[in-house]
Amino acid sequence: MTGTMPEASFRCFLAERGKEVEAALRRCVAGLVALVPDGVRAAVEDGALGGGKRLRPILLVTACEELGGEAGEAVYDLSASVELIHAYSLLHDDLPCMDDAPLRRGRPTAHVVHGVGAATVAGAAMIPWAASWAFGSAQRAGRSREEARRIALHLLEAAGAGGMIGGQAVDLLAEGGSRAGAAPLDEVELERLHGMKTGALLAASLEIGAMAAGGGDAALTAMGRFGRRVGLAFQVMDDVLDATGSEEVLGKRPSDSEHGKSTYVQLLGVVGARNRARALVARATAALDAAGLAAPRLRELARFVIERRR
């Protein structure tokens, strides 16, 4: 089955879910801030509450709803654990030893404002807290202790060496090779990199949403396939925006091309990259079709990924 939402309804949906996500993230961060040293608290708040699209938590909540789950406060709290992992990754990505970025979302990065040490510790502290918060939130959402354990483990696996951290390591190694004059990554290598760095956590957001709804194996498989394809489309469009947008619009510096990183625009050109993103979204929605899921809000979120301007 297929379905879509009117644009006005979808924008209202995003605004409503965004408010709930922000409230949940503040609850999550308040718990962590109470545990970390004084010198780290501001960096935690800056890194986690400094804005963003909140795509991953909205995907989690939406997947839960589309599979018949109730998106109450506990499910929003669960979604905050995924966003906290994403926030930690950005804090560490921006450090001088990584991308050495002075600007994100139009604001000075956390290490610039609070110091490298505070930003490093803040990011590291977010990892175990996110797992603990996910475990408790899943139980409050009605999952058993074993189901909650599986959810927390799934989150950490997506964030770990087989997922986001592994992808970041591959990215840094590839960047070093590019700077040394080595050939840029080909499309297969680039897809593997971003499937780990971006796609794993994004897919896990949808899979955890399905788990929170008590979805079976078929639903989990469909959400994973949808998420990995949307995640790759998201990265392809990031490369397009990085190549065509201004610093004022994107709110970040430096660009990936300035770091010598391989991008889809380098491989395919701007038009080719846009077409690849559209094809990936079509494949993502085909996964929903194959599972017999109408999921109109997920389909609109996929469309949002390729139509966004920042």
Q: How far apart are CA 301 and CA 122, in angstroms?
A: 30
Task: Give 256's pLDDT tier (boundaries 50, 70, 90).
Answer: low
Residue range 235-255, pLDDT digits in tens: 999 999 999 876 655 555 555
Predicted confidence at residue 9, as pLDDT, reads 77
Q: Which residue has the higher pLDDT, 180 or 109?
A: 109
Q: What is the average pLDDT across 184-188?
A: 87
3-class secondary structure, 205: helix
Q: What is the average pLDDT across 182-186?
A: 77
SS (H, E, C) 160-187: CCCCHHHHHHHHHHHHHHHHCCCCCCCH
Q: Give the predicted TM-score (pTM) of the model.
A: 0.90
Q: How far apart are CA 229 and CA 165, in angstroms?
A: 19
Task: Give 205's pLDDT tier (boundaries 50, 70, 90).
Answer: very high
Residue range 21-59, pLDDT digits in tens: 999 999 999 999 999 999 999 999 999 999 899 999 999
Percent over 90 (pLDDT), the chain: 77
CATH superfamily entry for domain 7-307:
Farnesyl Diphosphate Synthase (1.10.600.10)
**pLDDT over threshold 60, residue 95:** yes
Q: How far apart are CA 279 and CA 242, in angstroms?
A: 20
Cβ–Cβ under 8 Å, residues 219 and 210: yes
Cβ–Cβ under 8 Å, residues 162 and 196: yes
